[in-house]
Amino acid sequence: MARRKKGEPVSGWICLDKPYDLGSTQAVGRVRRLFNAQKAGHAGTLDPLATGILPIALGEATKTVPFMMDADKTYRFTLEWGRTTDSLDREGVTIATSDVRPDVAAVEAALPAFVGTIDQIPPAFSAIKVDGERSYDLARAGQAVELKSRQVTIHSARVVGTPDLDHVEIEMDCGKGTYVRAVCRDLAEALGACAHVSQLRRTRVGPFREAGAIGLEMLEDFGHKARHLEVLLPVETALDDIPALALTTEDAFRLKQGRSILLLPRQVETLTARLTPGSRTVSAMSEGVMVALCEMRAGRLEPSRVFHLDKSGD
């Protein structure tokens, strides 16, 4: 007899506005306990010193996390001139100082060099593994860490504020794997200055945006009032750029059994027109409920991830 899983089979996404000084894993734990969910995970780590959007998946939504890991993101951050730290943020140890204070025009002139597909060396204080160890653990232990450069994509970067001569605020849209602190490091170097990130906020992860986010305290208040399910977003929220196909009951049953289904020529034509370049992934729906994520091959849909949801989304 199979053991019953602990917790409730609740499924969906929470668009959490993570507070300052809380780790992503800690945030997931608190949300999971609030919903008493059987499974939980997050889509993209956010540093404890950063605030903003941390999408948290519960139950069957955890099967869509890989799609969110590749999602584009938007950050709004503040550079503080005059001091470079080992961690490239305000909590680090000062390793260099400078009296250079680049003006807005200089920053705006330098930013285009960071837009596009560029080579970026991740900060030593990052979660990248080096010989099985986290880079930040080695860096905190005083060991010299040399990380290889990697290609990242920055779609846009612009100055959005200048509170005073010591600070400049920048907003950046970027692809996966981009480090804001590395942008700060390289921008300061290009301008002959010292700087670190004094504030960092993530304002978007794919379809998850500030306007739809909820703070942890408010979410927990909803939980005390037994209203927390009101803010649970559908599993398919993470799949907004993946075309959906409505199925017959018979085809939905076949997919749930792990079997492929044959598409009509017009269905193939419609889906092909809606697929993003290089993708074959289709979301299969039945009566408004997610049935499976499928790959379209040779006129058939082959299930890659099957979901177990009812009409309420649980």
47 classed as catalytic = yes
Helices 216-224 & 24-35 angle (0-180, nearest 10): 10
- As a dihedral over the C-alpha atoms of residue 9, residue 13, residue 15, residue 21, rounded to 10 degrees, the angle is 50
Distance between start and end Cα atoms, the chain = 23
Q: Would you list the DSSP string of 66-109?
A: HHHHT--EEEEEEEEETEEETTSBTTSPEEEE------HHHHHH
Rounded Cα distance between 62 and 263, Å, is 28
Enter the tokens of residue 140.
């905190």
**SS3 of 149, please?**
coil
Residues 276-305 as b/e (b if ≥16 CB within 10 A, e otherwise) read: eeeeebbbbbbeebbbbbbebeeeebbbee
Considering the candidates 17, 47, 186, 251, report the single residue annotated as catalytic.
47
The candidate with the shortest Cα–Cα distance to 281, out of 264, 254, 255, 301, is 301
Residues assigned a catalytic role: 47
